[in-house]
Amino acid sequence: MDLDVVNMFVIAGGTLAIPILAFVASFLLWPSALIRIYYWYWRRTLGMQVRYVHHEDYQFCYSFRGRPGQRPSILMLHGFSAHKDMWLSVVKFLPKNLHLICVDMPGHEGTTRSSLDDLSIDGQVKRIHQFVECLKLNKKPFHLVGTSMGGHVAGVYAAYYPSDVCSLSLVCPAGLQCSSDNQFIQRLRELQKSAAVEKIPLIPSTPEEMSEMLQLCSYVRFKVPQQILQGLVDVRIPHNNFYRKLFLEIASEKSRYCLHQNMGKIKVPTQIIWGKQDQVLDVSGADVLAKSIANCQVELLENCGHSVVMERPRKTAKLIVDFFASLYNTDSKKLD
């Protein structure tokens, strides 16, 4: 082989080795940075743009795709300790001709976190209403989607501001009083009695606790590498004190059953999506809502836990699109 050719391969190999070694080093040493890059990449790929809007001195961060049109816009509210990007796995399967908005809930990610903020469910509903008014989203009634804590807020929002919302999708929402407590709720009650706020299962501080939380929230057993678990923990640890404060607030007597107390006021067509194997919020909550909301459609997913959005994103998107199409006389095939 010619010496020049050998030199070319050596140089090429060295050139390729640099980014490969950088990637490996990042994966091992800074996994949290890779997780942020991952979300940035998927937002860019899916056409979701990040914007900020202010209500007085309060900042809301949100991502969006599309523009308001003849069909209702769709506002999506994430769950406890998550952020707007948790919806990306569902957005991937939603039609590109829908106007989508995913907002960071109060105190989360890019939305203002203030020690003076009211983190109760009522307080969060008022904040989301401020966000809606800042965007003038309620100029025309919109479709509201929420999961877990976000479902709690979405349901109460529909009860408090009925003229803003034309339809509602609640994915395993919190805020309901069931006939009996599951093991997770029983454990939380024991922790509350002992004031052991450091041990809340939804607020992990180690890779092992993160793995346990993923198993609690998911029916599907994801094999997550140790480095990624560490990265997920690294991203969360700076916020854990806030998460504990928020959790105690939404689990307090004032907020715990806010949706249950207001579900009779929900008058818009409502869709309930719930994983049958949910270990966090019992699936019997779907029946509770169905008995109290006149125009209510229930979809129970087999082999699915609490993290419906993560476990069954394609199915979740299809159910929302089909529900949307049935309400607004639109062929779901045209929503693409």
Residue 294: pLDDT over 60 = yes
Q: What is the pLDDT of residue 3?
A: 37
Task: Show the beta-strand stretches assigned E in the chain.
Answer: 49-55, 58-65, 74-77, 100-103, 142-147, 165-171, 270-275, 296-301
Task: Note the pTM of the prediction, 2 decimals.
Answer: 0.89
* Residue 19, H or E segment: helix 3-29
> What is the longest distance spanned by two Cα atoms in the chain?
82
Per-residue pLDDT tens over the stretch 136-183: 999 999 999 999 999 999 999 999 999 999 999 999 999 999 877 888
The single residue listed with the structure tokens 């569902």 is: 90
Per-residue pLDDT tens over the stretch 84-93: 999 999 999 9
Beta-carbon count within 10 A of 291 CB: 9
64, β-bridge pairs: 49, 101
The single residue listed with the structure tokens 């209702």 is: 72
The single residue listed with the structure tokens 């080093």 is: 25
Measured distance CA(296)–CA(318) in Å, rounded? 17
* R_g of the chain, CA atoms, integer Å: 22
Which of the following is catalytic: 108, 278, 282, 307? 278
Which of the following is catalytic: 89, 148, 167, 218? 148
Share of the chain above pLDDT 90, in %: 75
Per-residue pLDDT tens over the stretch 216-271: 999 988 788 888 898 889 999 999 999 999 999 999 999 999 999 999 999 999 99
Per-residue pLDDT tens over the stretch 115-149: 999 999 999 999 999 999 999 999 999 999 999 99
Measured distance CA(128)–CA(28) in Å, rounded? 38
Give the three-class secondary structure for 54: strand
Does residue 278 carry a catalytic annotation? yes
